[in-house]
Amino acid sequence: MSDILKFKEPTLDVPGKPNKRWRLAFATIYSARALYSLLDQNKKKEKSRKLPLPISSTPSYVVLNVKPEAFSSIDQTTLTAIVKEKNLDLLLEFGGIEGVADALQTDIKNGITTGSVHDVALRQEAFGSNTIFQRPPAAKSLFYFVVEAFKDLTLLILLLCAALSLGFGIKEHGLNEGWYDGGSIFIAVFLVISVSAVINFQQNRQFEELSKGSNNIMVEVIRDGHPRQISIFEIVVGDVVYLIIGDQVPADGLFLDGHSLEVDESCLTGESDHVQINSHHNPFLFSGTKVVDGYAQMLVTSVGMNTTWGELMSTISRDINEQTPLQARLNKLTSSIGKAGLAVSFLVVVALLVRYFTGNTENEKGNQEFIGSSTKVDDMVNSMVRIIATAVTIGLVAIPEGLPLAVAVILSYSMNRMMADQAMVRKLSACETMGSATTICTDKTGTLTLNQMKVTKFWLGKEHVDDSSSISKNLLDLIRQGIALNTSGSNYRATSGSTLLEFSGSPTEKAILSWAVQELDMKMETLKKNCTILHVEAFNSEKKRSGISIRSEADNTIHVHWKGAAEIILAMCSSYYDASGSTNDMDDDERTIFEQIIEGMAASSLRCLALAHIQITDDQEEHDIGVGLPQKLIKEDSLSLMGLVGIKDPCRPGVRKAVEDCQSAGVSVRMITGDNVFTARAIATECRILRPDQDMNDESIVEGEVFRNYTQDERKEKVDKIRVMARSSPFDKLLMVQCLKQKGHVVAVTGDGTNDAPSLKEADIGLCKGIEGTEVAKESSDIIILDDSFASIATVLGWGRCVYNNIQKIIQLKLTVIIAALVINVVAAVSDHEIPFTVLKLLWVNLIMDTLGALALAIEQPTKDLMEKPPVSLSTQPLIANIMWRNILVQALHQVVVILILKFSRKSILGVNKKVKDTMILNISVLCQVFNQVNARKLEKKNVFKGMHENKLFLGIIGIIIILEAVVVESLSKFADTERLSLGQWGVCMGIAVLSLPIGWVVKCIPVPDI
């Protein structure tokens, strides 16, 4: 153990005879320094070796040194100073890392004890919780959204008109009746603002909650001697945390044990060079940094706001108001339609003013309104206010400001439903883009398969072995040694006193360890005690292998063990062991036999790993280490093959159907895996990515190295045919993504490792696996697949298409209302009649369409029909398709014709007075929108009722709209300027409105171009 880890025995881990001289030198130097420290106390801080991080030293918080009796020997200020300032001298004062662990009442091997006084609550009270309080974004309370809604110029003009109308009305008719017109506009505007503010506030809160959920990282710690998975927010000072490649360091701490650990501190320092962490010179780990190589255990010394990352993040504001590409397109559409609406409003104002000043308008008593100079100023101003309010209200209806709100509702609803379907959206734009995906590049392990691995075959030499009793003892010991020590996994007792062992690590590691314990009678802890680890080369997805060199305590011999992809390890071997423990030279013929064994296992969908070994001398170890090299090297040639292990990872249930669903939707599925060609082909065939009769020579299967060596033109020519890439590296995956995008594909990519980050960022949609994914990969992704399953990816594809389709439905419904209202009002304004819709009535129709109507269509869920269409191109295809224009124009024409006929008709048609006729016009208009909502459920299909009974919320909203309309007509006659209708009149309104359904059926028989 190093001098920092254990101060009581200051030794350096240098093998061989010079060890005593090193110890003596160290003791002399340290004693001199200690004496100097005593003589010059005041200059100690200046003389200590400090390596401060280049960040602000002015804290944005105050550290409270709460020192319960249990932790009286150390305080938070000291712990923070040790790590933040990289102060080795201060660390040594406390007896090294072991001294700090003792002060924190932590057992380095077994972690903290959660059942006694040193429990989690006490540690949180003493040192704080692992939560970081970021400065919130600009106040996003409900009041904030109300203020934002008031910034709408149209609504402000309406409020001004309402105030003037209210004043003149009270002056003319008195308070009891004079407030109706102005007051009704006030109330209607208040409802529009309230509904808009509440919906925006709710969806903003939902996005914040989802953002918080994305930060809830699961971390492996050791407590009570057992590994546990806990939330990052539950980590406390004194915890022992496991770190592997791709992990985010969850708190500030000190390196306890591990090998080849390198971290990326660029988030703190801005330096891109990776930093080596070890117990000798730099044991300091900082929250927020990323592990890029190796593995380790760390002792947590600071959490939450006491960490370097916590201090930095407390000064940063988050902004979750992301605008998606579709929202940007809708804003442009809204602007264009709004300009047209304002132009129409201006024409209406001109027409009404001309009619008024030419004496062509009449008041409620049938008298001419404007009689030249004899007209009262109050009456003239009141008429002007009414005309302006009417024109402004037409503009309000014409401006589809509810579209962005509807999109927010759709995205919010879809994100929540996708979360329930095991997909957490990190970027809003991914909701839309996923619906346009043309190809999905997926991993194999854990996505297409269950990631529940089990060793099913073991070959020793050229023979298949079923029973370990046939293996010689010496060779069996070497196999056990290689498996027990060359691993990042471990085993432990499930409970105290239990005989049942549990395993930690990656699924592959757990499968091999479980097999070795159960079949080979491996004693992992005993083997670890009997050997000293000299150097470790950790596994990563590029090398596809891991190695270790160890010294046996029994005979002081040095052994090198390698484990990894079978063909890679086989290429490193020049001999092999047989069951008797003898080594045999491996010639070309025998190498071919081993390759055939590997291919045979791979063809059975087995992942094939190889174990290799070599014993070396001290001279060879020193030679391999070399002089002045920063890292030791492990011998990697002339090895002896110990055995081949076949691991079965069954396909996930339902994955075949999910792949077929994607293919029927026009989305190509490509599998990119690190397994060899034969395993990849077997799994791809089982999942139906490849056909059973598909030949390996038809360019549908390629190895990563081959694809990498193609020229750029060759890659572009062949990439569309490729369905499986085997033995690929992360760089090969990145090349594939880039090539597909250059060919015009919208690419979705799955990934889980740190090295997958470039591919996830390069792809149009990055899909990270939630279970196996590293924090680096998750941060680079757009959507996290919580259960790692490909079936969930297919579900996300359906939701992406559903988002786009629902937005189109709302656009169709809204434009129908806009076009009908504009045409009706313009025709009425330039004719001899007044506009059929008052300010309040237009606001009521607008409220229905922008809120309840949008909500009814926003909650439509993905259907099978959507997965039978080709992908939609967001960049080239128009937002309003030809089929939508067909539906919009015919339905708008139906409403225009019916309402204008009623408007210009005399009493003979309906036999009712003017007020009843105006009420029926409003009723017909609202009911037409209700039935048009049903039509909008299917843009192309004639059967609009299919699946409607399953959407109870849709039916409920339709019912609410009808009930509210009945209340407005029957109970709010004075307020809404309506007249109560008889059952017969209600029947006439319903009969006219329901014609929208057969008209919608007939119009869908008219063929139109697709775009």
Q: Which residues are catalytic?
A: 443
Rounded CA gap, 649 and 937, in Å? 43
Q: Which residues pair with 252 in a beta bridge?
A: 302
Rounded CA gap, 913 and 117, in Å? 85
Residue 391 tokens, joined: 């024109």
Give the residue among 197, 66, 188, 82 at the shortest CA–CA distance from 143: 197
Under 8 Å between Cβ of 661 and 863: no
Give the residue among 898, 974, 724, 899 at the shortest CA–CA distance from 173: 974
Under 8 Å between Cβ of 527 and 485: yes
Under 8 Å between Cβ of 234 and 120: yes
Under 8 Å between Cβ of 167 and 186: no
Give the residue among 926, 897, 918, 923 at the shortest CA–CA distance from 834: 918
Instruction: Give the contacts of 290 (CB within 8 A, at least 6 positions apart).
Output: 246, 247, 248, 249, 263, 264, 267, 754, 775, 776
Instruction: Give the contacts of 292 (CB within 8 A, at least 6 positions apart).
Output: 245, 262, 263, 264, 274, 754
Q: In what order do the strands lie in the sheet with 423-425?
A: 423-425, 783-785, 765-769, 747-751, 439-442, 668-672, 724-726, 701-703
3 state SS of 114: coil
Q: Are strands 747-751 and 439-442 parallel, antiparallel or unpaired?
A: parallel
Q: Where are the alpha helices (DSSP H) in 56-179?
A: 76-84, 88-93, 96-103, 120-127, 142-150, 153-173, 175-178
Q: Where are the alpha helices (DSSP H) in 535-675?
A: 566-571, 588-603, 618-625, 655-664
Phi/psi at 143 (5° precision): -60, -35
Give the residue among 774, 713, 811, 833 at the shortest CA–CA distance from 355: 833
Instruction: Give the contacts of 180 (CB within 8 A, at least 6 positions apart).
Output: 169, 974, 975, 977
Instruction: Count how many Cα atoms sit within 13 Å of the Cα of residue 34 in the half-sphere of its side chain.
Output: 10
Rounded CA gap, 260 and 539, in Å? 11
| Region of 724 on the Ramachandran plot (φ > 0 left; ψ -120 to 50 alpha; else beta) | beta
Find tokens 């869908």 and name the residue: 1004
CB 993: neighbour CB atoms within 10 A?
A: 22
Rounded CA gap, 928 and 938, in Å? 16
3 state SS of 903: helix
CB 987: neighbour CB atoms within 10 A?
A: 11
- Rounded to 5°, angle at Cα 318 from 312 and 324: 145
Q: Where are the alpha helices (DSSP H) in 650-750?
A: 655-664, 677-686, 704-709, 712-718, 730-742
Dihedral, CA of residue 15, residue 18, residue 20 and residue 22, to nearest 10: -90
Residue 94 tokens, joined: 């406390």
Distance of CA 584 to the CA centre of its chain: 53
Taking each helix axis from N to C terminus, what angle separates 180-214 and 142-150, rounded to the nearest 10 degrees? 130
